[in-house]
Structure 1
Amino acid sequence: MIKNVEQQLVDLRAGKETSLSFFMDQYAHSLRFFALKMIKDRLIAEEIISDAYVKLWERKENFHCEETVKSFLYLVTKNACLDFIKSGRNKVQHEEEWLYDLENPDKDILTKMIYFELIELIVQEIEKLPKQQAQIFKMSYFDGKDTGEISEALGTSASNIYFARSRAISMLKQVFKQKDISFYSLLIAFLANNY
């Protein structure tokens, strides 16, 4: 995987669009989740993320390690979300919370980056689940859909949704418990806060 990322970085600097697609796939879920937590508007969040990838492409020669790509994407996304909030076009109740974050960025951005690294790990493990379990988990926890909405969208019963979701959670818990107790604790906190 590391060798693959290194090659993607070389390709990105060389202007190969497939490398941009690689990084888009790598960070799409976590950036979307990050932006949605800030601005609560799916269309604007998608626009902001697209702009972040355009800026990455425009500065492609400057990236020599994955951490700089990740940090750049999160920083650009965060700044665009904050600009949107400050512009007054967004009347979300959480405006004050994010404006406070501007005054206290160091601790907060580190906490958020750790949180979104967890999201990346979760997404990687979700991709290993059976297709329906993965889809139901994403719809529940990343898209915020309830059981009825998922049931209707997939044309299946609520009991099937409950079963698939609980199997996905059970499998994720097993994986994260084996990885590290701190990852397991973070997974439990994520599940508790997002459902």
Structure 2
Amino acid sequence: MIDFDREVISLQEGKESALCFFMDQYSHALHFYAYKIIKNQDIAREMVSDAFVKLWEKKENFQASESIKSFLYLVVRNLCLDHLKSSRVRFQHNEELLSDLESNDENILNKIIYTELIELIVIEIEKLPKQQGQIFQLSVLEGKNTEEICAELGTTSSNVYFSRSKAIATLKKVFKHKNISYYQFGLLLSFISTP
């Protein structure tokens, strides 16, 4: 069993292995969280990296892993907010996101829970056969259409449909065993694929 308290102490002591531990724990979910807001993989990665730099700079201030997690989400949220404000004149979508990001803490908590559910899906996607996982990732999580997936993977549209259907069926079975119903899984997928 992972001893988060020991890792927090190691982080406070300036051990880089503890920073790596927290990066392993949270970076993927944070990246997804940032990507869903700003729709740019490279900028999302940069924001997550910046959040971990800020964590390292303030490492002595943390007493518990939950405060580290909250801090990282807050930093990523604020970086996304700053990014959207800097380009707000270009997109109305940014205006809606800005008001959403500037809203209350309950909304932020809902987004964190949502992101953690997505993280569960991502973990299960990595267990799928390679092509099924890639197609599911591109179509459902990244919102690409069949034509774009065919061009990116060099495959046919029928293969995309088949692989996506097979991946969804497999994930439904997995989440049934985790007490997440078909309805909840479908609802989650509909939220993920909403632009």
Q: Tell me which interval the TM-score lies in, with the shorter structure as reference length.
A: 0.7 to 0.9
2:39 is aligned to: 40
State the Cα deviation string for residues 13-57 of structure 1 (Å, max 9, x = none): 443434433433433332222222222333332222221121122
Q: Write the letter of the residue equivalent to 2:108.
A: I
1:10 Cα deviation from its structure 2 partner: 4.7
Q: Taking CA–CA contacts closer than 8 Å with sequence separation of 6 or more, which of the two structures ends up with the larger relative contact order?
A: 1
Say if 2:186 is the partner of 1:188. Answer: yes
CA contact (8 A) 1:12 1:19 kept: yes
Q: Write the letter of the residue equivalent to 1:74.
A: Y
Q: Write the letter of the residue equivalent to 2:192.
A: N
**Aligned equivalents of 1:26, 1:189: Cα separation in 2:** 26
When residues 92 and 154 of structure 1 are mapped into structure 2, their CA distance, relative to the original with a 3 A threshold, is same
When residues 105 and 133 of structure 1 are mapped into structure 2, their CA distance, relative to the original with a 3 A threshold, is same
**Aligned equivalents of 2:157, 2:23: Cα separation in 1:** 33
Give the % identical residues.
57
Q: Give the root-mean-square deviation of aligned CA atoms.
A: 2.6
1:12 is aligned to: 11
State the Cα deviation string for residues 158-192 of structure 1 (Å, max 9, x = none): 2222222211111111121221246x544212212
1:8 Cα deviation from its structure 2 partner: 4.5
What are the equivalent positions in structure 2 for 1:1-195 lying under 5 Å apart? 1-3=1-3, 5=4, 8-88=7-87, 91-101=90-100, 104-181=103-180, 184-195=182-193
1:64 Cα deviation from its structure 2 partner: 4.4
SS of the equivalent of 2:92 reads: coil
Q: Write the letter of the residue equivalent to 2:66.
A: E
TM-score (normalised: structure 1): 0.81
1:130 Cα deviation from its structure 2 partner: 2.2
CA contact (8 A) 1:39 1:92 kept: no
CA contact (8 A) 1:12 1:20 kept: yes
**Aligned equivalents of 1:35, 1:90: Cα separation in 2:** 20
**Aligned equivalents of 2:23, 2:89: Cα separation in 1:** 26
When residues 173 and 51 of structure 1 are mapped into structure 2, their CA distance, relative to the original with a 3 A threshold, is same
1:89 Cα deviation from its structure 2 partner: 5.8
**Aligned equivalents of 1:136, 1:22: Cα separation in 2:** 29
State the Cα deviation string for residues 78-98 of structure 1 (Å, max 9, x = none): 011112222346633223323
Equivalenced residues, count: 193
When residues 9 and 167 of structure 1 are mapped into structure 2, their CA distance, relative to the original with a 3 A threshold, is farther
CA contact (8 A) 1:39 1:90 kept: no
TM-score (normalised: structure 2): 0.81
Structure 1: 5+ residue stretches without partners: none
